[in-house]
A and B are shown apart, each in its own frame.
Chain A
Amino acid sequence: MSFNLDLLLAGTYHDWLIQGLRLSLGMAGITLLLALPLAVMVAMFRLSPVRALQWLGAMFVESIRNVPLLAHMLFWYFGAPELLPDGIKRWLYAGNIEVLSAIAALTLYTAAYMAEDIRSGIRSISNGQFEAGRSLGFSFLATMRLIILPQALRVTIPPLVSQTLNLWKNTSIATVIGVGELMYQAAKVESTAFRSAEAFAFATICYLSVSLILTGLGLLYRHRFPVRTA
Chain B
Amino acid sequence: MGMIEVIQTYWVYFLIGQFPDGPLGGLTLTIVLAAGGLLLAFPLGFALAIARMSPWRTLSWPVTGVVYVVRGTPLLMVLFWAYFFLPSITGQKISQFSTMLGALVLFNAAYLSEIFRAGVQALPTGQFEAARSLGLSYFAALRLVVMPQVMRNMLPSLVNQFVSTIKDTSLGYIIGLSEVSFIASQINNLVLTKPTEIYLVLALAYFILCFGLSRFAFWIEQSHVRSHLSGGERSKMPRPVKRTLTEQT
Contact = CB atoms under 8 A, between A and B. Distances in A.
A170 B188 CA distance: 24
Interface residues of A, number: 51
A33 interface: no
A65 B211 CA distance: 9
A131 interface: yes
Contacts of A78: 185, 188, 195, 199
Given A74-B202, A175-B76, A196 B85 contact: yes
B210 interface: yes
Contacts of A48: 246
Interface size classification for chain B? 35 or more
Contacts, number: 137
Main secondary structure of the interface of A (DSSP, over half): helix
B21 interface: no
A71 B80 contact: no
Interface string B228-249: 0000000000000111011111
Given A68-B170, A127-B241, A170-B74, 16 more contacts: A49-B243, A71-B203, A74-B184, A74-B199, A78-B188, A79-B195, A79-B199, A140-B249, A141-B249, A172-B76, A173-B76, A176-B174, A187-B84, A190-B80, A200-B81, A200-B84
21 contacts: A69-B170, A70-B170, A70-B173, A70-B174, A71-B170, A71-B181, A74-B184, A74-B202, A75-B203, A78-B195, A78-B199, A79-B200, A82-B196, A131-B245, A140-B248, A183-B74, A183-B80, A186-B80, A187-B84, A208-B73, A215-B72
